[in-house]
């Protein structure tokens, strides 16, 4: 075989190999359930075949401010979801049972589901969820309040707009790197007046999920503005 032909074939093989590696490292999109639940229950969404996870938010003193844990089935449904906000002493533990999530302690029905495991209703709060054709929750309707949710092409939550009476609160996120979605900046506005800014940067695993993050929050509703810094530590197990 001519040496030039050999070189051409070797180059072509190398290109195929690189293309295959690049394809293998392409991050998976976010499922409708993961994206929608993260919107409603305020945690960072994750990609891929997640089996269980925890997200722990710590303040500048190293104290735990918030913690979220969850387990998922191989189909991507949340089997359990538990969240605790130590700053305002609130929280809940939910367990999947047929088409409801039950309170783990009282066994009361907390969340009604649609389809296999998507949000449909919070009966006690009178909140109903609407989904789009792809199964993502795009609107929540409650007593005098509506919330519209936005996502990018990969299902990553880009923010939401809450309207109640004459108040309109909007949170809008911007992502610079489509692989590292949790590196973002966000701006919150109330009736078009800026109320706060958020910036987050993370280290990632090979699924492009965050392992640890630095979170900076600026409260511009205060005079002068107040700055808060947090760290987030994540544990993630996969199928």
pLDDT digits (tens, 9 = 90+) for 172-209: 999 989 999 999 999 999 999 999 999 999 999 999 99
| Residue 234 included in any domain | yes
Q: Are 31 and 39 in contact (CB under 8 A)?
A: no
| Residue 12 included in any domain | no
% of the chain with per-residue pLDDT over 90: 87
Q: For the domain that residue 33 is a member of, what is the CATH number? A: 2.40.160
Question: pLDDT tens-digit profile of 8-41?
Answer: 434 434 433 333 334 446 899 999 999 999 999 9
Provide the domain limits for residue 142.
Answer: 28-238
pLDDT mean over 92-105: 96
Residue 48 has pLDDT above 60, yes or no: yes
| Residue 121 included in any domain | yes
| Residue 18 included in any domain | no
Q: Which of 186, 203, 113, 106 is nearest to 150 (CA)?
A: 186
- DSSP 8-state symbol, 9: H
Contacts of 189 (CB under 8 A, 6+ apart): 169, 170, 172, 195
Contacts of 83 (CB under 8 A, 6+ apart): 41, 42, 43, 66, 67, 68, 69, 91, 92
| pLDDT mean across residues, the chain | 91
Q: Which of 118, 89, 85 is nearest to 101 (CA)?
A: 118
Predicted pLDDT at 235: 98
Q: Which of 112, 133, 117 is nearest to 76 (CA)?
A: 117
Tokens of 17: 């190999």
Confidence of residue 5 (pLDDT cuts 50, 70, 90): very low
| Residue 20 included in any domain | no
Predicted pLDDT at 57: 98
Residue 2 has pLDDT above 80, yes or no: no
Q: Are 46 and 54 in contact (CB under 8 A)?
A: no
CA-based angle 83:89:90, to the nearest 5? 40
CA-based angle 85:79:89, to the nearest 5? 10
Higher pLDDT, 65 or 3: 65
Predicted pLDDT at 12: 38
| Residue 13 included in any domain | no
pLDDT mean over 87-100: 94
pLDDT mean over 148-165: 97
| Residue 21 included in any domain | no
pLDDT mean over 101-125: 96
Confidence of residue 7 (pLDDT cuts 50, 70, 90): very low
Predicted pLDDT at 43: 97
Distances, alpha carbon 140 to alpha carbons 43, 47, 61, in Å? 18, 24, 36
% of the chain with per-residue pLDDT over 70: 90
- Any idea which residue has 């109330």 for tokens? 190
- List of E strands, 98-209: 100-103, 109-114, 118-122, 127-131, 137-142, 145-151, 157-164, 167-175, 184-190, 193-204
Predicted pLDDT at 16: 34
| Residue 4 included in any domain | no
- Based on the structure, what is the number of domains in the chain? 1
Cis peptide before 175 (omega within 30 of 0): no
Predicted pLDDT at 116: 87
């Amino acid at each position: 075989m001519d040496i030039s032909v050999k070189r051409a074939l070797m180059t072509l093989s190398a290109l195929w190999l690189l293309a295959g590696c690049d394809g293998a490292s392409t991050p998976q999109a976010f499922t409708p359930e993961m994206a929608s639940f993260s919107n409603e229950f305020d945690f960072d969404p994750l990609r891929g075949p997640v089996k269980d996870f925890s997200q722990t938010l710590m303040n500048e003193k190293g104290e735990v401010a918030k913690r979220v844990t969850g387990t998922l089935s191989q189909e991507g449904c949340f089997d359990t979801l538990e969240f605790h906000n130590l700053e305002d002493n609130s929280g809940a533990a939910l367990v999947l049972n047929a088409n409801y999530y039950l309170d783990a302690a009282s066994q009361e029905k907390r969340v009604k589901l649609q389809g296999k495991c998507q949000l449909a209703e919070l009966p006690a709060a009178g909140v109903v969820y609407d989904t789009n054709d792809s199964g993502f929750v795009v609107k929540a309707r409650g007593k005098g309040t509506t919330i519209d949710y936005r996502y990018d092409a990969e299902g990553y939550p880009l923010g939401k707009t809450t309207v109640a009476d004459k108040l309109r609160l909007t949170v809008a996120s911007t992502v610079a790197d489509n692989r590292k979605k949790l590196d973002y900046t966000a701006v919150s506005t109330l009736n078009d007046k800026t109320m706060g800014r958020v910036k987050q940067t993370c280290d990632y695993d090979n699924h492009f999920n965050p392992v640890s993050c630095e979170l900076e929050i600026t409260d511009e509703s205060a005079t002068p503005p107040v700055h808060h810094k947090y760290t987030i530590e994540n544990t993630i197990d996969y199928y």
